[in-house]
Amino acid sequence: MEVELVAALTGLAGLAIGLATGLAVRVSERAQRVQAPAPPQHALPPGVASVLSVLRSSAVVVDGEDRVLRSSSAARAFGMVSGDRLVVDELVAMARLVRRDGEIRETEIQVGPSRGRRADGRWFQVRVAPLGSHGLVLVLAEDLTDMRRVEAIRRDFVANVSHELKTPVGALSLLAETVEGAADDPEAVRRFSGRMQNEAVRLTNLVQDLMTLSRIQGDEPLPELHPVALDELIVEAIDRSQTKASAKDIEITAGGQHGLKVRADDELLVNAIRNLIDNAVAYSPENTRVVVATRRCEDQHVEITVTDQGIGIPESELERIFERFYRVDPARSRQTGGTGLGLAIVKHVTTKHGGEVTVWSKEGSGSTFTIRLPLLDPVRPPVPAAVRENRDNGREAKP
């Protein structure tokens, strides 16, 4: 019996020792894992972190094993860094080359969801340089995307303007030759010089529209805004479009609420309304009506609408018609003498006045363009009698 007890106790003791040993090994393993020295890293040289934090460029510092030691939030946001890795292959390769020979390198890269498609992603001018003597490498990336976009817009614009100028200038030169050749035929001379005048008018309109656009496209606010009565402005705009409308027997009428005022550059606003009326006339058949109406909205805005019974605009084109030189039917626009800049001008003029322009249209039925502007001197809601009394007595009304 004693022998059995001793054997059992010995067994238990053995088990306990085994368990304790196992536990001790685990604890020690975990402790080792926790205290395991971090992979060899070199801290940033003193002062570098503060210099990087004031730079506007995206900045990344990688160590000798290509691990990111420091990165700006922009570098992460633009998708150059994920976790502790540079994720743009070109940058990793450049960092290695720079680490190897100490030469500063520069390149342009595209970073984004659809690399390879030039229109997408963001473009960066990148400079990669050694940082200190421990294999650290600094990557600085300057975002070029907006600059490239502006450059592309400018290039397109110059190309468009040149193209638009080429047409009337070419026509003028041809007509001049024809007139010269028809010197003995007064009737032909009269006809061709009439066409020369048309081309000259087209050129003048184009130059005029370009000048207006360049004036209103910038970020600067318009210098001279003053109270303007919409009734007078609309009469003036209709007046300027009247000749073209009469030629097509199109009746233009004004309606809606009277006496509304806005703060405006009157010449620009007349120009915008006239552009809409000119279009309404140009894209409508003969013997139709164009209605210009004003309306006061609940939210202290006014709406000026120009409605026609014309050809309308396909829904798929509605988004683009406010772009410079965009035309649904280029041949028709040229035929009507349009510059392709009218709606771009309307859009910029309304934006400059703190408003917006919208369009409703149905092919074959007609279109309505609406200019919406802040109302001047909006009538405030009536002050309750109790508040008025307290105010008059110099006391604040209790809520």
Asked if residue 311 binds ligand ADP (CB under 6 A), the reply is yes
Q: Which of 78, 123, 192, 283 binds ligand ADP (CB under 6 A)?
A: 283
Residue with tokens 């970073």: 111
- The overall longest dimension of the chain from CA atoms, in Å, is 148
- Strand partners for 61: 70, 138
Q: Which of 52, 138, 264, 280 binds ligand ADP (CB under 6 A)?
A: 280
Asked if residue 339 binds ligand ADP (CB under 6 A), the reply is yes
The single-letter DSSP state of residue 297 is -
- Strand partners for 307: 291, 368
- φ, ψ of residue 23 to 5 degrees: the values are -60, -45
Asked if residue 367 binds ligand ADP (CB under 6 A), the reply is yes
- The distance of closest approach from Cβ of residue 222 to ligand ADP in the complex, given in angstroms and rounded to an integer, is 21
Q: Which of 274, 308, 355, 376 binds ligand ADP (CB under 6 A)?
A: 308
**Which letter, b or e, does each residue of 348-372 get, where b requires 16 or more Cβ atoms within 10 Å of its Cβ?**
bbbebbebebebebeeeebbbbbbb
- φ, ψ of residue 77 to 5 degrees: the values are -60, -35
- φ, ψ of residue 258 to 5 degrees: the values are -105, 165
Q: Which of 92, 134, 328, 374 binds ligand ADP (CB under 6 A)?
A: 328
The strand pair at 289-296 and 251-256 is best described as parallel
Q: Can you point out the beta strands (E) in 146-288?
A: 226-229, 251-256, 261-264
Asked if residue 333 binds ligand ADP (CB under 6 A), the reply is yes
Asked if residue 338 binds ligand ADP (CB under 6 A), the reply is yes
- The distance of closest approach from Cβ of residue 160 to ligand ADP in the complex, given in angstroms and rounded to an integer, is 12
Q: Which of 48, 94, 277, 313 binds ligand ADP (CB under 6 A)?
A: 313
As a whole number of Å, the CA-based R_g of the chain is 37
Site for ligand ADP in 368-397 (CB under 6 A): none
- The distance of closest approach from Cβ of residue 144 to ligand ADP in the complex, given in angstroms and rounded to an integer, is 31
- The distance of closest approach from Cβ of residue 311 to ligand ADP in the complex, given in angstroms and rounded to an integer, is 5
Q: Which of 321, 349, 357, 376 binds ligand ADP (CB under 6 A)?
A: 321
Residue nearest to ligand ADP (CB): 338
Q: CB–CB of 307/367 below 8 Å?
A: yes
Size of the site for ligand ADP (CB under 6 A): 23
Site for ligand ADP in 62-121 (CB under 6 A): none
What is residue 253's three-state secondary structure? strand
- The distance of closest approach from Cβ of residue 86 to ligand ADP in the complex, given in angstroms and rounded to an integer, is 47
Q: Which of 254, 327, 358, 360 binds ligand ADP (CB under 6 A)?
A: 327
Integer Cα distance of 88 and 108 in angstroms: 12
Contact set with ligand ADP (CB under 6 A): 275, 279-280, 283, 308, 310-313, 321, 326-329, 333, 338-344, 367
